[in-house]
Chains A and B, each alone.
Chain A
Amino acid sequence: MMATSYGESLAFVRSGDEDLLVFLTAPTVDSNGLTVVLLTGGGWMPSAHRNRMWVRLARKLASQGFHVARFDYRGVGESTGYRPFFELNRPATDDLGAVLGWLADLGHAEVVLVGTCFGGRTSLTYTARVADGEVAGIVLSGTPVEDYLGSSRSIGWHLRRAVSKRSITRIRTRYPKYLRIAKARLSRAVRQPLNMVNAEMGPQAVSDLYLRPLTKVLERNVPTLIMHGTEDGHYIAFSKGMEGRLGTVLRRAGDLVAIEIFDGELHGELTLAAQDFTIDRVLGWIQAIASNRAAAPDRAG
Chain B
Amino acid sequence: MNVNAVNGQVAERIDETTSTFERAWFQGDAPGGDRRFMMRHQPLHEPRGAVLMCPSLYVERIRTYRAEVRVARALAARGYAVQRFDYIGTGQSDGDTVDTTFASMEADTRAALATLRSEAPGPVGLMGFRWGALMAAAVSDETPGAPLALFDPVFDGRAFFREAFRSQAMSDMRGGHEQQNSKATDQMAVKGYADVLGFAVGSALYEQSSGARLAELAHLPAETFILAFGGGGQLKGKKAAAVEELRRRGFSVTVESLDLTEAWWFIGTEPLPEAQIVDALSGWLDHRMAMAVKP
Binding site for B on A (CB under 8 A): 4-6, 8-14, 19, 21-23, 43-48, 50-52, 55, 75-78, 80, 84-85, 150, 231, 265, 268-275
Q: For the complex, what is the distance from the CA of A85 to the CA of B270, rounded to whole Å?
A: 7
Does the CB pair A84–B198 fall under 8 Å?
no
22 contacting pairs across A/B (C-beta < 8 A): A5-B26, A5-B37, A6-B32, A6-B35, A10-B8, A10-B24, A12-B6, A23-B92, A44-B62, A44-B63, A46-B62, A48-B86, A50-B198, A55-B92, A78-B69, A80-B15, A85-B270, A265-B175, A268-B198, A269-B198, A270-B171, A271-B195
A51 and B199 contact, Cβ closer than 8 Å, known pairs A4-B94, A46-B65: yes
Name the one of A19, A23, A84 contacting B271, with C-beta atoms under 8 angstroms.
A84
Name the one of A10, A13, A50, A271 contacting B9, with C-beta atoms under 8 angstroms.
A10
Mask for B16-33, Cβ within 8 A of A = 1, else 0? 000000101110000010
Name the one of B34, B69, B198 contacting A272, with C-beta atoms under 8 angstroms.
B198
Using Cβ atoms and an 8 Å threshold, which residues of chain A touch B90?
A: 52
A9 and B66 contact, Cβ closer than 8 Å, known pairs A44-B271, A150-B269, A272-B198: no
Does the CB pair A12–B4 fall under 8 Å?
yes
Using Cβ atoms and an 8 Å threshold, which residues of chain A touch B198?
A: 50-51, 268-272, 274-275
A-B contact count (CB 8 A): 108
Does the CB pair A52–B91 fall under 8 Å?
yes
B12 at the interface (CB under 8 A from A): yes
Does the CB pair B271–A10 fall under 8 Å?
no
Q: For the complex, what is the distance from the CA of A55 to the CA of B96, rounded to whole Å?
A: 11
DSSP majority for the B interface? mixed
B11 at the interface (CB under 8 A from A): yes
B117 at the interface (CB under 8 A from A): no
Does the CB pair A43–B267 fall under 8 Å?
yes
B182 at the interface (CB under 8 A from A): no
Using Cβ atoms and an 8 Å threshold, which residues of chain A touch B11?
A: 10-12, 21-22
Does the CB pair B175–A44 fall under 8 Å?
no
A5 and B4 contact, Cβ closer than 8 Å, known pairs A10-B9, A10-B24, A46-B65: no
What's the least CB distance linking B234 to chain A, in Å? 28
Using Cβ atoms and an 8 Å threshold, which residues of chain B touch A11?
A: 4, 6, 11
Q: For the complex, what is the distance from the CA of A8 to the CA of B2, rounded to whole Å?
A: 23
Using Cβ atoms and an 8 Å threshold, which residues of chain A touch B260?
A: none
B136 at the interface (CB under 8 A from A): no
